[in-house]
Amino acid sequence: MDRRTFLKTTAALGAAGVASPRLAAPALAQGAKVLRFVPQANLANFDPIWGTQYVVRNAGALVWDMLYGVDSTLTPQRQMVESEEVTDNGLTWTFRLRDGLRFHDGEPVRAADVVPSLTRWMARDPIGGMIKAIQDELTAVDDRTFRWRLKKPFPKLLYALGKTNAPVAFIMPERIAKTDPFTQISEYVGSGPMRFRRDEWVPGARAAFETFKDYKPREEPSSWLAGGKRMLVDRVEWVIMPDTATASAALQNGEVDWWENPIADLVPLLRKNPNVVVDIADPLGNIGSFRMNHLYPPFDNPKIRQAVLVGMNQEDYMRALVGDDDSLWKPLPGFFTPGTALYSEAGGAMIGKGDIKTAQRLLKEAGYKGEKVVCIVAQDQPITKAEGDITADLLKQIGFEVDFVATDWGTTGTRRASKAPPSQGGWNMFHTWHTGADCINPAGYPAVRANGDKAWFGWPNLPAVEAGIAEWFDAADPAAEKAAIDKTNAAACEGAVYAPTGFFLGYQAWRKNVKGIVKGPLNFTWGVSKA
């Protein structure tokens, strides 16, 4: 029996009551509305600044609020901020917080909380680091006012504060925000629409959130991370189900209400259930990523990284993710989101064609010495597992020695942050993906940066890539922006910042008695109701 037949069979058995266990839940107040949600992966840690995993960002968006938030047009809108004033030709920004903002512990939100929150965020976020480099002063003026003085204008400041990609500029209480940015926080108090129930948190099983009654939503309609974040349920329970057949059965049986990322193989079965809705999760899609460690052999050699780009067949990767539906994927000879203004194929002709012979030749010419490639592959995340299986075979065909480390997504998130040699607990490659919303331009896209120690995991050091990105930040008009991105894309292909495995769309599924679910790069729980 092949994989897809097995999945469909076990999911069907679960829907008939055979495979899906009943979910234990705490006693709740009579009439409480509970939304049970199956996230993409386990919430293994919960510091949204320390790392960049989407599952942590998604949970963080419930608990912590933001000064600004991008709407569905990716335009930053005021969120915690009531007003801003820009003077001195863009060098001085003065912000005033909305009145009545409170943290979950009852304390008011103050400018004194904002300053260390932004300081901690800047230490971990690439665009935050750019702001830090030109910062003259960031200070609290009074309880509701803070001032940011810069040494040079930074026109994309509000976008940086409102972007969707992690780390997000969440605001925390001062005592928590002063935690070393390279140490995980251990207290999870925010001012967002939901309060985290740490007493119920069982990593690998469950996480729970309760509506924060003192949250003060904005008056505007909600749109992605902007507008009024009004909770229409009393409680959200995240139910961790790494087994896709079990998750499918639980959704069909009504044991859960919303599944973030059902795999394509199970979608036909879900669509047969009259009580289930299936739709594309986000029209901006995702970019698959084969991420290489530039610090150590063999991927410290650009020619060897290029061998991977030439040898991989993007269709193999995409078929493993989405099956036979050609409408769900596109080849991607570059790094930016297809269908958007800055999409570029410059320099990408050699990417993803599956040319094994040329890849073998490049590997030999580069002087590969047989070093083991330590592949860290999360088995509890369908995207990374499917792509990891393809990679293990690809690397062997090209001629690499492969050390395949099967692990979980939480461990991957921790291990990929290590700069230790692969033989001492480090790594050579891992798989991940980037939402299309994060990849429309360099401002919210840490994975394309190549500024060495300040870069994302893998720490590429490619001055030509950084020069193109700098040109984009300084561009005066759309034509100049596009020219800068073409330079960036070509340089990123030449230097193999990472290996894009293709562009793909994903699904989400929910019970028909759940209303208000919108498409986007994360699960926007505000505005969602359950009959």
Question: 275, 299, 287, 285: which is closest to 369 by C-alpha?
Answer: 299
Identity of the residue numbered 419 = K
Q: 495 and 360: one domain?
A: yes
Q: Which CATH number goes with the domain that contains 457?
A: 3.10.105.10
Sheet with 401-407, side-by-side order of all strands: 329-330, 499-504, 286-292, 429-435, 372-378, 401-407
Cα 410 versus chain centre, distance: 14
Q: 320 and 232: one domain?
A: no
Q: What is the pLDDT of residue 31?
A: 73
User: How far apart, in Å, are the Cα atoms of 274 and each of 22, 344, 515, 517?
Assistant: 21, 42, 15, 18
Cβ 78 vs Cβ 219: under 8 Å? no
Q: At what angle do helices 111-124 and 126-133 cross, to 10 degrees?
A: 110
Could you tell me the sign of the dihedral formed by the alpha carbons of 129, 375, 1, 205, in that order?
negative
CA distance 191 to 449: 31
Structure tokens at 204: 């690998």
CA distance 450 to 292: 12
Q: 400 and 268: one domain?
A: no
242 three-class SS: coil
Cβ 506 vs Cβ 281: under 8 Å? yes
Q: 482 and 371: one domain?
A: yes
Identity of the residue numbered 395 = L
Q: Does residue 266 belong to any structural domain of this protein?
A: yes
Structure tokens at 494: 């030449």
Q: Does residue 129 belong to any structural domain of this protein?
A: yes
Could you tell me the sign of the dihedral formed by the alpha carbons of 74, 332, 434, 168, in that order?
negative
Task: Tell me the pTM.
Answer: 0.92
Q: Does residue 511 belong to any structural domain of this protein?
A: yes
User: How far apart, in Å, are the Cα atoms of 53 and each of 36, 46, 222, 433, 522?
Assistant: 21, 10, 24, 10, 12
Length of the chain: 531
Q: 207 and 250: one domain?
A: yes
Q: Does residue 15 belong to any structural domain of this protein?
A: yes
Q: Which CATH number goes with the domain that contains 52?
A: 3.40.190.10
514 three-class SS: strand
| pLDDT tens string 506-527 | 999 999 999 999 999 999 999 9
CA distance 246 to 74: 35
Q: 365 and 435: one domain?
A: yes
Cα 292 versus chain centre, distance: 18
Q: 304 and 377: one domain?
A: yes
CA distance 286 to 519: 13
Q: Does residue 26 belong to any structural domain of this protein?
A: no
Identity of the residue numbered 47 = D
| pLDDT tens string 93-146 | 999 999 999 999 999 999 999 999 999 999 999 999 999 999 999 999 999 999
Point out the residues of the chain with pLDDT beneath 50: 1, 3, 6-7, 9, 13, 17-22
Q: What is the pLDDT of residue 6?
A: 45
CA distance 32 to 242: 27
Identity of the residue numbered 158 = L
N-terminal to C-terminal alpha carbon distance within the chain: 40
149 three-class SS: strand
Peptide bond into 167 cis (omega under 30): yes
Q: What is the pLDDT of residue 28?
A: 67
Choose the final residue of a domain: 177, 204, 225: 177
Structure tokens at 134: 């030109």
Q: 229 and 163: one domain?
A: no
Q: What is the pLDDT of residue 272?
A: 98
Q: Which CATH number goes with the domain that contains 79?
A: 3.90.76.10
Q: Does residue 415 belong to any structural domain of this protein?
A: yes
Choose the final residue of a domain: 128, 154, 177: 177
Q: 17 and 130: one domain?
A: no
Cα angle vertex 457, ends 455, 463, to 5°? 30
Cβ 508 vs Cβ 262: under 8 Å? yes
Q: 348 and 269: one domain?
A: no
Number of domain units in the chain:
3
User: Where does 443-486 show beta strands of DSSP type E?
Assistant: none
Q: 216 and 262: one domain?
A: yes
CA distance 246 to 309: 35
Q: Does residue 123 belong to any structural domain of this protein?
A: yes
State which residues form the domain around 265.
3-21+31-62+183-282+507-530
Q: Does residue 43 belong to any structural domain of this protein?
A: yes
Structure tokens at 159: 């976008």
CA distance 149 to 167: 22
Choose the final residue of a domain: 177, 196, 228: 177
DSSP 432: E
Q: What is the pLDDT of residue 17?
A: 47
Q: 515 and 424: one domain?
A: no
Q: What is the pLDDT of residue 32?
A: 84
